[in-house]
Amino acid sequence: MPNTILHPNSPAMVTETPLFSANDEWSPLKAVIVGRAEHSAFPSEPPHMIAATMPGEHFAEFRPSNPFPADIVAKAQWELDNFASLLEKHGVRVYRPKEVDWVKAGGYTGAMPRDGLMTVGRTLIEARFAWRCRRNEIKLAYSDILDQLGSEDGAGRIHRAPEIVGHDTIYDDVGHDTIYDDVGNGNGNVNGNGVDVQNGHGITANCWAVNNSRPAFDAADFLRFGRTIVGQLSNVTNPMGVQCLKSIVGPEGYAVEVLRTTDTSAMHIDATILPLRRGVLVYNPGRVTEEELRRHAVFAGPDWELHAYPFVPQCRGSLSPPMYMCSPWLVLNALSLDERRIFVEEKDTQFAQWLRSKFGMEPILCPFQHVNSLGGSFHCATVDLVRETAIRCPARADAA
């Protein structure tokens, strides 16, 4: 029988719209999870992981039970609430997680649900986090939402991550022989594990801050392009993690393809490539090449325009809050409302103007710089549960 969904600012109605169904990043957004920022704490992971992924100037902040500055957290929460309200005004159903004291829980934040959850078709998938401080993030903050989504008649499949019992082997024999100074510089290579970090095609499989002893992947290392999921190996996603994701989505007819990036600090692909709409993709030329993108069947033909972002994003200056965890390339971490409208941080005016003039897009400018301080932007802070025209997405592309 059809699901009953209460849309914001409207009476209850019966609709055939599923509670979660999305096959791309650009179709009209109808339901979404928006995170929350209260009690966010700097993630505490082994020094080699922090050195591999975080800006060196803030290295010393990444220690146990160290909360983000209270004023930044409060303003980030206001920005998330404001963003959720704006989405509701555009007719989007918004879900919000529980408030959790992440300092007491030994965790990180509830502001970045994209890292931990992804919708692929009618399946909602929980990530296999590498970071130990995120191990209980979905259970603590999002279980109520998942229970609600899974309890309705006709609900899709929710694939929860198995609990890790006992010693987590993900960091075994990685980075332990490296000594770091107070800005994260080590006496080994960039990832602190004494191996060559690049070859002629990008990054070697063994250069990362995690090993391949168990499946690990962050959902934000993958984007949906119809029946093809495009992702990357990174400091939080290993080959076993990719195979794990393939085992979940493969039986439903989805392919998972892995880009060869040139970013040794890689952690999440959604500030490297940004699909604006069907057939138009923007990419960071410092992290991936057009040649590499064209190597994949989904981008190989004339149906996709691939555009290198022509500007180098700049830091916003001393009047803006610190970017503790991200580079200015976070500008590409935008969220499409549909194929015409896209959410952009209000100070990223150069990017917004380029989207208008180059592609005829309509950027929706929204304050989000304090959320940026916590480690992400609009794409990171959301999980798109329903995109309306997902069923029109093209058939799966075979790997090149």
pLDDT at position 315 is: 85
* E strand or H helix at 359: helix 349-359
Mean pLDDT of 312-319: 85
Catalytic entry in 115, 218, 221, 270: 218
Catalytic entry in 244, 326, 366, 380: 380
pLDDT at position 198 is: 34
Output the CA torsion 323→327→223→86 (10° steps).
40
Active site residue 153: no
Q: What is the CA radius of gyration of the chain?
A: 20
Active site residue 218: yes
Could you tell me what percent of the chain has a pLDDT over 70? 84
DSSP state of 269: S
Do residues 214 and 198 lie in contact, with contact meaning Cβ atoms separated by under 8 Å?
no
pLDDT at position 378 is: 99
Do residues 234 and 208 lie in contact, with contact meaning Cβ atoms separated by under 8 Å?
yes
**Residue-averaged pLDDT of the chain:** 88
Active site residue 48: no
Could you tell me which residue, 6 or 336, shows the higher pLDDT? 336
* Class (C level, CATH) for 18-392: alpha beta
3-state secondary structure of 144: helix
For residue 41, pLDDT beyond 80: yes
Q: What are phi and psi of 273, to 5 degrees?
A: -130, 145
pLDDT at position 177 is: 54
pLDDT in tens, 348-384: 999 999 999 999 999 999 999 999 999 999 999 999 9
Per-domain boundaries in the chain: 18-392
Token pair for residue 312? 């180098």
For residue 204, pLDDT beyond 60: no
Do residues 211 and 171 lie in contact, with contact meaning Cβ atoms separated by under 8 Å?
yes
Token pair for residue 273? 């490539």
For residue 291, pLDDT beyond 60: yes
Amino acid letter, residue 51: A
Could you tell me what percent of the chain has a pLDDT over 90? 80
Mean pLDDT of 236-255: 97
For residue 158, pLDDT beyond 80: yes
Which residue has tokens 């952690």?
A: 267
pLDDT in tens, 165-193: 899 999 998 865 554 444 445 554 333 33
Catalytic entry in 268, 296, 370, 379: 268
The Cα–Cα gap between 316 and 300 comes to: 36
For residue 390, pLDDT beyond 70: no
The pLDDT-based confidence of 24 (bands split at 50, 70, 90) is very high
Mean pLDDT of 193-208: 43
Do residues 206 and 195 lie in contact, with contact meaning Cβ atoms separated by under 8 Å?
yes
Closest CA to 63 of 86, 84, 44: 44
Please provide the distance, in angstroms rounded to a whole number, between the alpha carbons at the two ends of the chain. 41
Could you tell me which residue, 175 or 13, shows the higher pLDDT? 175
For residue 151, pLDDT beyond 90: no
For residue 280, pLDDT beyond 80: yes
pTM (whole model) above 0.85: yes
The least confident of 15-19, 81-85, 222-226 is 15-19
For residue 194, pLDDT beyond 50: no
For residue 201, pLDDT beyond 90: no
